[in-house]
A and B are shown apart, each in its own frame.
Chain A
Amino acid sequence: MSKTVTAEIGLFSPAILKPAAWQAFRKLDPRGLVRNPVIFSTAVVSLLSTILVVREGLAGGPTFWIGLQITIWLWFTVLFANFAEAVAEGRGKARADAFRATKSSVRAKLLLNPPQRILHEFQDVELLNPGDVILVEVGDVIPTDGEVIDGIASIDESAITGESAPVIRESGGDRSSVTGSTRVVSDWLVVRVTARQGETFLDRMIALVEGAKRQKTPNEIALDILLAGLTLVFLFVVVTLPFFASWSGTTIPVIYLAALFITLIPTTIGGLLSAIGIAGMDRLVKANVIAKSGRAVEAAGDIDVLLLDKTGTITFGNRMADAFEPLPGIHEVMLAEAAFLASLADDTPEGKSIVSLAMKKFGFAEGETCTNATFIPFTAQTRISGVDLVEGSSIRKGASDAILRTLNNDPGAPLDAIVRRIASSGGTPLVVAKDGEALGVVHLKDIVKPAIRERFAELRRMGIRTVMITGDNPLTAAAIAAEAGVDDFLAEATPEKKLELIRKEQAEGKLVAMCGDGSNDAPALAQADVGVAMNSGTPAAKEAGNLIDLDSDPTKLIEIVLVGKQLLISRGALTTFSIANDVAKYFAILPALFVAAYPGLGVLDVMGLGTPQSAILSAIIFNALVIIALIPIALKGVSYTPASASALLSRNLLVYGLGGLVAPFIGIKLIDIIVDFLGLA
């Protein structure tokens, strides 16, 4: 797990609990309560009970004392639900405050004539508009989000990621985006502002963790509907009960009916539902991921296929040159020299590793650079790079199939043999050619991350298929895929091929997740159901994705999937628990209500509760306290270990279904003993 800006917030930190207790009362505002049908119903019933109790008190009725206690616990039920939400929000708020503290109040250096870096004026950050061009220099805090259009600089992003090692940001390429509140540690950048004030990443992050703009996610809406439906069912049950009781010559005090209604409706899950949602978002932020919508987080739990870039995710990014393998009749030095020359201007890690291998093996020196050579950069389409020297010869290196197309004559089997051997060993063969004649192959080695295999096995148990995306040739790809343990791979991938693969999987009804950073990833990121953009990536990629990883760590996708699943499981488990609780409550309250009419119905009182009054009181107290007791589970999420759906279902049914059936029998009995002991009823 990555480092975080904010310190770990304890579950019961007083700094959160105190304001939350106060918030619980403020949240009695009906405009807020109405968003939650179950808790709103509880509040309405509490109000009704209050009126009844006051009337009863004035009239000196017999049920005043018990009625008063029931009413107090009804209000506690509402307050506890509010409290749960407030605690979750409080934790988010604490995190948001930490972010807000990093928000700069410095003024931006607005460039008056962008092509020149000379003239600038100071401008308030609030007045910056998208499209404005600003300058940031050593020691400056970058005022807002933007895209680098000139310069290269190292940036300290610890303010948002908690990671202290500086990162490089430069114009062009895939590392051109800067985030507000980060600090320039060396050099300078010219930045075009991309975000309106109030919509920067930091702002989004703050809004997200505060829960202020939290929108209900699709599954949450569906669950809300189900809970509202159950509430209505119980309304019918309770409202009609007096008529059936009257048939038996019994009258049931309205306050008892209120208690029955509140214990039956799913107050437990109703009270914890929003806390679960907020806490889920909080966990995501803790993992340094920003979700543009709650929908994306839920979708992450549904993922069937995970597309992972090989480089950086499965392997340690950089492939290193390991050996020069010349064709028969060509000396190794010739090959090394050609490769060396072709790589001198090549800034990619592979290029650099070729240079350093050549220097180490044959003592070439950098000074030998031929001036005026034209460097041909690598592109995803040609998959070739190289150099055109002044004397007229041209050197090319690249994937074997790409180079073969440029050769004057195919060297045939000997080259093929080398390429195959390297590729099947999991290495990357880089064919080097001079003036249309192949010289040999540079063996690049890819190192698979150590724990990644177990990670993929875990995903497989969860039913998620992993597909490795790589620009390598199929043989290389197959070897690495086998070593890393992915389920499938896409070799010689181009942005088009990636998009095509996503569409194909989606057409089969699967949900696809991927991560990417480059602008050419943008279409695929937009097409994927869950697209995680690296924060270091281009603005286009960040715009296209629906989640942004501040750590720019591609393995984060796995974390996100877990958070999404845990969110749904927490809701499902607590709903099951809540409904299963009702059985015990019936066995407590029904005999209490009916025993006067039919003494024989005392057999239903399996818990052997003290008196009818204490039975009802104990049930309502249990109902309120269970909300408090479950707040930790709501905030931390139900524990989740990757397993098959059947195993998960059995386990959660046992814990929350059977547990929910049994727990209240014990809980209500214990409370009843205390209530009796204190002589409350």
Chain B
Amino acid sequence: MTSDLVQAALYFGLLIAMAIPIGRYMASVFAGQAQFLAPIERVILAPAGTIARLDQRWTAYALALLAFNAAGFLLLFLILRFQHLLPFNPAGMEPLSGHLAFNTAISFVTNTNWQSYGGETTMSHFSQMAGLTTQNFVSAASGMAVAAAVARGFAGRQVKTLGNFWQDLVRSTLYILLPMSLVLALVFVALGVPQTLQASVDATTLEGAKQTIALGPVASQIAIKQLGTNGGGFFNVNSAHPFENPTALANLFSMLAILAIPVAFCFTYGRMVGDRRQGYALFAAMGIMLLVAFAALYAAERIPNPLHSALIDPATGNMEGKEVRFGLVNSVLWAVSTTAASNGSVNAMHDSFTPLGGLIAMLNIQLGEIVYGGVGVGLTGMLLFVILTVFLAGLMVGRTPEYLGKKIEAREVKLAALTLLVMPLGVLVLAALAIATGTAQTSVQDAGPHGLSEVLYAYSSATGNNGSAFAGFNANTVWHNTCLGLAMLLGRFGYIIPILAIAGSLAGKKITPASAGTFPTHGPVFVTLLVVTILIVGALTFLPVLALGPIAEHVSMLVGRTF
């Protein structure tokens, strides 16, 4: 237990130590102060001419983002459909079915990286490298661009524009994601992760059986998969595969990479809006939720299944489905980080967690992926809650609510309230629809409340753009591929478009200097209120289904009822 907590403390400590300088660096990148790659940037943006130079209003910015992502979707869809005709297909992979290609293309464009397939048995190397890894970079960069634009809008002094999408996209990739991925990929290679174009090696096992072990350009893909909160693994079992996650050190680096940029964005935001305390407040609010989630999940997993008490030494905790090489705490830490960050890579199967442990992972996603969240979009998702909280708090102090000196009015509240509908629509409505059509029942592996959790987890993961799988749910059907695809689109653009609109509207507003009459949005009272608001909104939306899923499973387990 002590060693577990020391490991957790080391992880959180290293995370903060990394995030602060990265945050500062990213702020300078988005301010255009980092110039050392300017020649390359110029070459890339040159064909676009003035389109890539002039600042855009929120509408133009959003349109550019949508157009870019639509093009990315089309390209990836075609690659996946025609991978058998394309090069680098040593294993002779077949083309993906229409619905699977649709789902996968949306999944990677929306930075979800939900995988309805097993990588090593489905994808050619070309699809992995040119298709998926490309989107790993640019979908992450799209999210980062949104955060940069939103921060500019929130800080703007009566301006109309939010910056240039193409510039932000290129800078995010060139200055942040590429260099960091390069370093991390080399570290992974050094730690034993394969990086080769060879399809597989044949090995002879001790019993003399012949085994084919899949290989490929793994290190390059999993570096960006972690850094860009993508999470789509090279292999089916993701980071539970020893080639993706070979050593304890690789495990630590992976976990750090999952949250490094999302955490850093808090500090970037503080600098970009010219008041670092605002960033610290968001950092604190998210941090509190992360720590609470970790404590709860750890507590849940410490207790093994009471139905098998005769078989399990209670001191080991619930090791079912855990990464046995690194111990329980590293699976718990990973599960909390990956669900909090909308990353979705796993080193243990969440399906095998205790019912309450699974609940925490699911709730992390259902809160809207804002506990640091996806790169860029985690911050902007949190800002939507900030606006709602500011609105309530502002009324309670008798002033038209203000955030960063800007009045929060009907338009902002309308847009923010609209985003409250995203999770209920994507999770509750689509999951209910799957049950109503009977498609959910045929895709789950388990009966009873656990089966319901599997359905809920799948739709939460898609809508939250998380991408992690509970396992035990066969998503590769026409119905689920289609509906999960729609859920991913909803969960991505259902947040991005409203927050860009809010940023556009705030950018044009006057800044009222703070006085004793304005409440500070960086103090402990506000942070507490923000956390409580998020938890209450999340709990009120999902408590009924969670009661029927994981909570029902938990209480049934306690009385020895199985399904």
Verify that A and B bind, or say they do not: yes
- Residues of A at the B interface (CB closer than 8 Å) are 218-219, 221-223, 225-226, 228-230, 232-234, 236-237, 239-241, 243-248, 264, 298-299, 301-302, 304, 460-465, 508-511, 564-569, 571-573, 575-576, 579-580, 582-583, 586, 590, 594, 597-601, 603-604, 640, 644-646, 648-650, 652-653, 656-657
Is B452 close to A, CB under 8 A?
yes
- 15 A-B contacts, Cβ less than 8 Å apart? A236-B421, A240-B545, A244-B452, A247-B452, A301-B398, A302-B399, A464-B515, A510-B513, A511-B512, A586-B543, A598-B552, A600-B554, A600-B556, A646-B520, A650-B525
Beta-carbon contact of A653 and B396 below 8 Å: yes
Beta-carbon contact of A566 and B398 below 8 Å: yes
Nearest-neighbour CB distance to chain B for A89, whole angstroms, equals: 23
Taking CB atoms, residues of chain A closer than 8 Å to B545 are 240-241, 244
Q: What separation, in Å, do the CA atoms of A246 and B324 have in the docked complex?
A: 37
Which of B42-50, B68-76, B276-284, B411-419 sits within the interface?
B411-419
Beta-carbon contact of B409 and A649 below 8 Å: no
Nearest-neighbour CB distance to chain B for A673, whole angstroms, equals: 25
Is B395 close to A, CB under 8 A?
yes
In the complex with contacts A509-B513, A565-B398, A600-B555, A236-B519 CB distance below 8 A: no
Taking CB atoms, residues of chain B closer than 8 Å to A298 are 400
Nearest-neighbour CB distance to chain B for A556, whole angstroms, equals: 18
Beta-carbon contact of B552 and A229 below 8 Å: no
Beta-carbon contact of B398 and A568 below 8 Å: yes
Name A222's contact: one of B391, B433, B526, B529 (CB within 8 Å). B391
Beta-carbon contact of A225 and B417 below 8 Å: yes
Q: What separation, in Å, do the CA atoms of A656 and B395 have in the docked complex?
A: 13
In the complex with contacts A219-B400, A572-B394, A652-B396, A233-B536 CB distance below 8 A: no
Beta-carbon contact of B420 and A462 below 8 Å: no
Taking CB atoms, residues of chain A closer than 8 Å to B556 are 598, 600
Within 8 A of A (CB), among B540-562: 540-541, 543-545, 547-549, 551-552, 554-556, 558-559, 561
In the complex with contacts A509-B513, A566-B398, A572-B393 CB distance below 8 A: yes
Beta-carbon contact of A653 and B512 below 8 Å: no
Which of B12-20, B422-430, B465-473 sits within the interface?
B422-430
Is B410 close to A, CB under 8 A?
yes
Nearest-neighbour CB distance to chain B for A232, whole angstroms, equals: 6
Name A233's contact: one of B399, B525, B541, B554 (CB within 8 Å). B541
Taking CB atoms, residues of chain B closer than 8 Å to A236 are 421, 424-425, 428-429, 541
Taking CB atoms, residues of chain B closer than 8 Å to A245 are 548
Name B396's contact: one of A221, A246, A576, A599 (CB within 8 Å). A576
Taking CB atoms, residues of chain A closer than 8 Å to B547 are 590, 594, 601, 604
Is B39 close to A, CB under 8 A?
no
Q: What separation, in Å, do the CA atoms of A295 and B513 have in the docked complex?
A: 21
Q: What separation, in Å, do the CA atoms of A569 and B395 have in the docked complex?
A: 5
Taking CB atoms, residues of chain B closer than 8 Å to A600 are 552, 554-556, 558-559, 561
Residue in A245, A604, A653 whose Cβ sees the most chain B Cβ within 10 Å: A653
Taking CB atoms, residues of chain A closer than 8 Å to B9 are none
Is B436 close to A, CB under 8 A?
yes
In the complex with contacts A229-B421, A236-B429, A301-B398, A601-B555 CB distance below 8 A: yes
Is B325 close to A, CB under 8 A?
no
Nearest-neighbour CB distance to chain A for B195, whole angstroms, equals: 45
Q: What separation, in Å, do the CA atoms of A5 and B510 have in the docked complex?
A: 41
For the complex, would chain B's binding face be called helix, strand, loop or mixed by DSSP majority?
Answer: helix
Name B397's contact: one of A226, A590, A598, A645 (CB within 8 Å). A645
> What 6 A-B pairs are tightest by C-beta distance, nearest first?
A463-B517, A572-B395, A600-B555, A565-B398, A229-B417, A463-B515
Is B119 close to A, CB under 8 A?
no
Q: What separation, in Å, do the CA atoms of A597 and B552 have in the docked complex?
A: 9
Taking CB atoms, residues of chain A closer than 8 Å to B525 are 646, 649-650, 653
Nearest-neighbour CB distance to chain B for A276, whole angstroms, equals: 11
Q: Considering only CB atoms, which chain A residue lies closest to B158 in the complex? A: A509
In the complex with contacts A590-B544, A640-B398, A652-B396, A464-B435 CB distance below 8 A: no
Taking CB atoms, residues of chain A closer than 8 Å to B541 are 233, 236-237
Q: Considering only CB atoms, which chain A residue lies closest to B455 in the complex? A: A247
Beta-carbon contact of A233 and B410 below 8 Å: no
Is B381 close to A, CB under 8 A?
no
Taking CB atoms, residues of chain B closer than 8 Å to A218 are 400, 409-410
Is B199 close to A, CB under 8 A?
no
Is B178 close to A, CB under 8 A?
no
Q: What separation, in Å, do the CA atoms of A242 and B193 have in the docked complex?
A: 48
- Residues of B at the A interface (CB closer than 8 Å) are 388, 391-400, 405, 408-410, 412-414, 417-418, 420-421, 424-425, 428-429, 431-433, 435-436, 440-441, 448-449, 451-452, 510-513, 515-520, 523, 525-526, 529, 532, 536-537, 539-541, 543-545, 547-549, 551-552, 554-556, 558-559, 561
Taking CB atoms, residues of chain B closer than 8 Å to A229 are 414, 417-418, 420-421
Beta-carbon contact of B435 and A509 below 8 Å: no
Q: Considering only CB atoms, which chain A residue lies closest to B449 in the complex? A: A248
Beta-carbon contact of B431 and A240 below 8 Å: yes
Beta-carbon contact of A568 and B435 below 8 Å: no
Nearest-neighbour CB distance to chain A for B386, whole angstroms, equals: 14
Beta-carbon contact of B515 and A237 below 8 Å: no
In the complex with contacts A236-B421, A590-B547, A600-B552, A243-B436 CB distance below 8 A: yes
Beta-carbon contact of A598 and B399 below 8 Å: no
Nearest-neighbour CB distance to chain B for A65, whole angstroms, equals: 25
In the complex with contacts A228-B417, A304-B515, A601-B555, A649-B396 CB distance below 8 A: yes
Beta-carbon contact of A579 and B536 below 8 Å: yes
Q: Considering only CB atoms, which chain B residue lies closest to A590 in the complex? A: B547
Q: What separation, in Å, do the CA atoms of A568 and B432 have in the docked complex?
A: 39
Q: Considering only CB atoms, which chain A residue lies closest to B553 in the complex? A: A598
Nearest-neighbour CB distance to chain B for A105, whole angstroms, equals: 42
Taking CB atoms, residues of chain A closer than 8 Å to B543 are 586, 590
Name B555's contact: one of A567, A598, A657 (CB within 8 Å). A598
Q: What separation, in Å, do the CA atoms of A202 and B517 have in the docked complex?
A: 34
Beta-carbon contact of A241 and B544 below 8 Å: yes
Name B517's contact: one of A230, A240, A462 (CB within 8 Å). A462
Q: What separation, in Å, do the CA atoms of A648 and B520 have in the docked complex?
A: 12
Beta-carbon contact of A464 and B421 below 8 Å: no
In the complex with contacts A222-B410, A237-B424, A298-B400, A594-B512 CB distance below 8 A: no
Beta-carbon contact of A237 and B555 below 8 Å: no
Taking CB atoms, residues of chain B closer than 8 Å to A465 are 515
Beta-carbon contact of B548 and A569 below 8 Å: no
Beta-carbon contact of A240 and B432 below 8 Å: yes
Beta-carbon contact of B399 and A301 below 8 Å: yes
Name B435's contact: one of A228, A239, A244, A656 (CB within 8 Å). A244
Taking CB atoms, residues of chain A closer than 8 Å to B395 are 219, 223, 568-569, 571-573, 575
Name A598's contact: one of B393, B449, B513, B518 (CB within 8 Å). B449
Beta-carbon contact of B392 and A576 below 8 Å: yes
Q: What separation, in Å, do the CA atoms of A657 and B528 have in the docked complex?
A: 12
Q: What separation, in Å, do the CA atoms of A575 and B400 have in the docked complex?
A: 15
Nearest-neighbour CB distance to chain A for B551, whole angstroms, equals: 7
Q: What separation, in Å, do the CA atoms of A241 and B525 have in the docked complex?
A: 35
Name A645's contact: one of B399, B410, B417 (CB within 8 Å). B399
Q: What separation, in Å, do the CA atoms of A105 and B371 have in the docked complex?
A: 69
Taking CB atoms, residues of chain B closer than 8 Å to A511 are 512
Beta-carbon contact of B425 and A568 below 8 Å: no
Q: Considering only CB atoms, which chain A residue lies closest to B425 in the complex? A: A236
Nearest-neighbour CB distance to chain A for B76, whole angstroms, equals: 31
In the complex with contacts A232-B421, A233-B421, A508-B513, A648-B548 CB distance below 8 A: no
Q: Considering only CB atoms, which chain A residue lies closest to B399 in the complex? A: A302
Q: What separation, in Å, do the CA atoms of A576 and B529 have in the docked complex?
A: 11
Nearest-neighbour CB distance to chain A for B499, whole angstroms, equals: 15
In the complex with contacts A228-B417, A236-B425, A463-B516, A568-B399 CB distance below 8 A: yes
Nearest-neighbour CB distance to chain A for B531, whole angstroms, equals: 13
Name A569's contact: one of B396, B440, B452, B555 (CB within 8 Å). B396
Q: Considering only CB atoms, which chain A residue lies closest to B157 in the complex? A: A509
Beta-carbon contact of B396 and A572 below 8 Å: yes
Q: What separation, in Å, do the CA atoms of A506 and B431 have in the docked complex?
A: 51
Q: Considering only CB atoms, which chain B residue lies closest to A640 in the complex? A: B398
